[in-house]
């Protein structure tokens, strides 16, 4: 059975919704084409943002045997992509268009040991891995980082299931994670699977590289929805095409340019493949690189960006009135 | 009047194969660190090789990028394979370690790496759910690499559905007709047989008492007991192990010396080891060996037995090929069952139950022959 990369769209009925942490809602779906789910899988969902259709990806947290029901959990982030607002509006009985589970973050069975690291809503991708490793009797640790207990979904269930194998780091209890110590404590042949905010993942990546660990042992998934800065609206211009658009805080630059009718090339829409890269001709802005395609060396000069996930933020200081002028990017596209 | 459908086992002409099972991908010596073996196992093209430290690896034989066959690439470094087209490299876990024209690695870039076990002179792969790949489920072929047994074998690339080979081995009455010059004799289809089964295995036992030894067995007896003459008691005890391994305990002993009761000291004993790996719906890799527990020191006997069985199995291969062709040429005709198919029918039922548990139909959907 191959890992599935080919989207098969289907209808799903919302069976139940439940708040499982501050701002996080668990949504149980009954797909019309059930298929057993595996850890690391996600579904793509058609959402409406201000009445316009868009696609968002959500990790499958768990599923019933055979996949007759599967659960996702959505963190409501009013400041960024508007899909979460739509998802939080769902009620039991409503119909939703979703794909069959897609796999981009497979857990390899048979590694000598595992470290699982989840930050915030990233637990949705990691919880299923932990459950499977426990069932298989594997050597694993689960590290779960959050701002506060109230904001950490499934913490009690995970604690009951994994006991001493779970370590929770709660920021507002002074338990912040020491990333350096975490990576230093990883066994040479261990695999580390992580999903969480970009700052956390970036810190782990750096520590991993500094220690000289095998880079294929570090596994992660990013949907490109976590940045170094809060998402804010910015202006993008393409002089050659006479295009100027405002990129809203709840959409990507790629989506905004497509909305303006620019013939854009792209593929993964999560900052991995590099097909959507654009040249930056001029900028009155800082670039919030949210992709994993460019190396640090390539990101630093700010002359190119992956427009599916990366954003511009104002470089100007906040004025006395509390307002900041919008960031402006001048780019060219292939 | 209506008749209820009461069949509990179908007789599919093209049986599908379970995926949650170990299949032999090749002989241990076929898979090396010097080159890449391209072989399709259970419908899945594989690139098979060994790491520098000798560990066998089975990767899906298609690059993540544009699906070019990795088996046409080359081995590099400690455990890596390089795509022949754009040079992407993967390690033994199937993870990309190098991509062209970029400084990072796309975290999604992997090719499936399947669980592998090396045992009993074969390299085994598990193509189904990797979380179920339990080494304890490997069929018992311990005679292949035991100090108490000697022998060797070969591979037949059989142009037929794998189940036809299982049918062939589960009912040896065909020896009388297909192998009349070597191991066949009238008593085969006259002797009674007994069938037993459990969840993973089926056993068919047949004893023929006080008979003349056919040429193959007379020769073997004389290898151990020079100048042997006289009647023998002959046995065939067929052990099927899920999904497609059949080990046949065969032999003859001087008639009336107690072999049926357990004393085989006045006889010769062999084990015909067969493990059949589906390739496509209409072809399979049939790995066999003939092991014996006497005259272990004699390479001459090993070679003679291997060559002898090669000749016998060549007769089976010709029949299986003709049978598959006739099946495909008569799509409107069904299989009917005989009393002699008891063992083969239990094998079918175990395979059908496994397929049902995987949520897959037992019969391969009918398609154009030659697919």
A103: closest chain B residue by CA = B108
Max CA distance (Å), chain A? 60
Q: Tens place of pLDDT for every residue, chain A, 334 residues?
A: 345 778 999 999 999 999 999 999 999 999 999 998 999 999 999 998 878 888 889 999 999 988 999 999 999 876 555 788 899 999 999 999 999 999 989 999 989 999 999 999 999 999 999 999 999 999 999 999 999 999 999 999 999 999 999 999 999 888 889 999 999 999 999 999 999 999 999 999 999 999 999 999 999 987 777 889 988 999 999 999 999 999 998 889 999 999 999 999 999 888 999 999 999 999 999 999 999 999 999 999 999 999 999 999 998 776 666 677 899 999 999 9
**Average pLDDT for runs of 10 along chain B of length 371:** 60 94 98 97 98 98 97 97 98 95 92 97 97 95 97 97 96 86 80 93 96 94 96 97 98 97 97 98 98 97 96 95 96 90 95 94 70 41
For B104, the closest of A132, A222, A292 (CB atoms) is A292
Using the CB atoms, write b or e for B74-97: b if 16+ within 10 Å.
Answer: ebeeebbbbbebeebbbbbbbbbb
- CA quadruple B358, B364, B367, B369: dihedral sign: positive
CA–CA dist B269, A184 (Å, integer): 59
Q: Which residues pair with B285 in a beta bridge?
A: B157, B277
Cβ <8 Å between B131 and A272: no
Q: Which residues pair with B193 in a beta bridge?
A: B206
Cβ <8 Å between B133 and A294: no
Q: Tell me, what DSSP letter sits at residue B113?
A: B
Alpha helices in A137-178 (DSSP H): 155-162
For B104, the closest of A135, A222, A293 (CB atoms) is A293
* CATH of range A234-332; options 3.10.20.30, 3.30.390.30, 3.40.1280.10, 1.10.1060.10: 3.10.20.30
Same fold, A114-220 and A234-332: no
Per-residue model confidence as pLDDT tens digits over B202-241? 999 999 999 999 999 999 999 999 999 999 999 999 999 9
Cβ of A295: how many Cβ atoms within 10 Å?
11
Tell me which CATH homologous superfamily contains domain A9-102: Translation factors (2.40.30.10)
Cβ <8 Å between A106 and B110: yes
CB-based contacts of A7: which residues, under 8 Å, 6+ apart? Answer: A44, A99, A100, A102
CA–CA dist A204, B66 (Å, integer): 31
Domain ranges of chain A: 9-102, 114-220, 234-332
> Strands, DSSP E only, in A102-240?
102-103, 114-119, 140-146, 166-170, 191-195, 218-220, 234-238
Domains and CATH numbers, chain B: 22-135 (2.102.10.10), 139-357 (3.90.380.10)
CA–CA dist A243, A253 (Å, integer): 13
Q: What are φ and ψ of residue B315, in 5° steps?
A: -65, -40
pLDDT score of B6? 59
Tell me how close the Cα of B181 comes to any Cα of chain A, in angstroms.
Answer: 45
Provide the whole-model pTM. Answer: 0.90
Per-residue model confidence as pLDDT tens digits over B66-75? 999 999 999 9
For B107, the closest of A219, A274, A297 (CB atoms) is A219
Provide the CATH number for the domain formed by A114-220 in this structure.
3.40.50.80
Q: Which residues pair with B49 in a beta bridge?
A: B57
Using the CB atoms, write b or e for A136-151: b if 16+ within 10 Å.
Answer: eebebbbbbbbeeeeb
Mutate to test the interface with A, among B107, B130, B355 (most CBs of A within 10 A): B107
Q: What 3-state class would DSSP assign to A173?
A: helix
CA–CA dist B230, B267 (Å, integer): 12
Cβ <8 Å between B112 and A3: yes
């Amino acid at each position: 059975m191959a890992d599935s990369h080919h989207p098969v769209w289907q209808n799903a009925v919302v069976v139940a919704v439940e708040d499982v942490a501050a701002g996080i809602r668990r949504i149980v779906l009954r797909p019309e084409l059930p298929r057993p789910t595996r850890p690391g899988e996600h579904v793509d969902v058609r959402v409406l943002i201000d009445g316009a259709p868009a696609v968002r990806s959500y990790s499958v947290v768990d599923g019933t045997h055979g996949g007759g029901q599967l659960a996702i959990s959505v963190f409501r982030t009013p400041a960024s992509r508007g899909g979460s607002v739509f998802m939080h509006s769902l009620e039991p009985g409503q119909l939703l268009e979703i794909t069959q589970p897609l796999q981009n973050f497979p857990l390899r069975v048979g590694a000598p040991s595992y470290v699982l690291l989840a930050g915030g809503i990233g637990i949705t991708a990691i919880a299923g891995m932990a459950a499977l490793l426990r069932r298989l009797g594997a050597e694993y640790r689960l590290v779960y980082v959050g701002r506060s207990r109230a904001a950490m979904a499934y913490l009690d269930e995970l604690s009951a299931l994994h006991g001493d194998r779970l370590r929770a780091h709660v920021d507002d209890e002074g338990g912040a994670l020491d990333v350096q110590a975490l990576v230093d404590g990883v066994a040479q042949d261990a695999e580390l699977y992580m999903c969480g905010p970009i700052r956390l993942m970036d810190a782990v990546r750096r520590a991993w590289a500094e220690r000289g660990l095998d880079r294929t042992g570090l596994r992660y998934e990013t949907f490109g929805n976590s940045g170094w800065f809060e998402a804010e609206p910015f202006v993008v211009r393409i002089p050659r095409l006479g295009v100027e658009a405002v990129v809203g805080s709840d959409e990507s630059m790629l989506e905004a340019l497509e909305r303006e009718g620019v013939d854009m090339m792209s593929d993964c829409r999560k900052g991995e493949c590099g097909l959507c890269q654009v040249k930056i001709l001029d900028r009155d802005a800082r670039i919030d690189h949210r992709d994993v395609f460019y190396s640090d060396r390539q990101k630093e000069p700010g002359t190119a960006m992956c427009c599916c996930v990366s954003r511009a933020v104002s470089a100007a200081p906040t004025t006395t009135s509390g307002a900041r002028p919008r960031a402006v990017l001048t780019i060219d596209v292939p | 009047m209506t008749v209820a459908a009461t069949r509990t086992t179908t007789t599919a002409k093209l049986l599908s194969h379970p995926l949650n099972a170990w299949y032999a991908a090749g002989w241990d010596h076929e898979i090396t660190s010097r080159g890449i073996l391209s072989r399709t196992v259970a419908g899945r093209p594989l690139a098979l090789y060994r790491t520098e430290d000798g560990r066998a690896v089975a990767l899906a034989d298609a690059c993540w990028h544009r699906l070019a066959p990795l088996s046409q690439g080359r081995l590099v470094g400690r455990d890596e394979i390089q795509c022949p087209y754009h040079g992407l490299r993967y390690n033994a876990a199937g993870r990309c370690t190098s991509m062209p024209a970029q400084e990072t690695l796309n975290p999604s870039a992997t090719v499936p790496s399947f669980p592998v076990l090396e045992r009993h002179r074969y390299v085994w792969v598990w193509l189904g759910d990797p979380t179920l790949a339990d080494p304890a489920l490997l069929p018992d072929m311990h005679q292949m690499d035991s100090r108490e047994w000697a022998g060797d074998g070969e591979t037949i690339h059989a142009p037929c559905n794998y189940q036809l080979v299982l049918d062939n081995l589960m009912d040896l009455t065909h020896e009388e007709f297909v192998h009349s010059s070597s191991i066949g004799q009238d008593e085969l289809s006259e002797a009674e047989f007994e069938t037993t089964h459990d969840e993973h295995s089926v056993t068919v036992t047949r004893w023929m008492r006080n008979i003349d030894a056919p040429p193959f067995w007379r020769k073997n007896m004389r290898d151990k007991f020079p100048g042997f003459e006289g009647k023998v008691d002959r046995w065939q005890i067929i052990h099927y192990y899920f999904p497609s391994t059949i080990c046949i305990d065969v032999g003859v002993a001087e008639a009336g010396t107690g072999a049926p009761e357990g004393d085989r000291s006045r006889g010769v004993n062999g084990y015909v080891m067969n493990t059949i790996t589906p390739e496509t719906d209409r072809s399979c890799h049939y790995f066999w060996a003939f092991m014996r527990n006497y005259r272990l020191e004699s390479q001459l006997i090993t070679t003679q037995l291997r060559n002898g069985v090669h000749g016998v199995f060549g007769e089976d291969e010709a029949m299986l090929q003709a049978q598959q062709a006739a099946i495909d040429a008569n799509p409107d005709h069904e299989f009917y069952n005989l009393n002699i198919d008891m063992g083969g029918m239990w094998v079918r039922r175990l395979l059908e139950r496994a397929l049902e548990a995987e949520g897959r139909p037992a019969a391969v959907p009918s398609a154009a022959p030659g697919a």
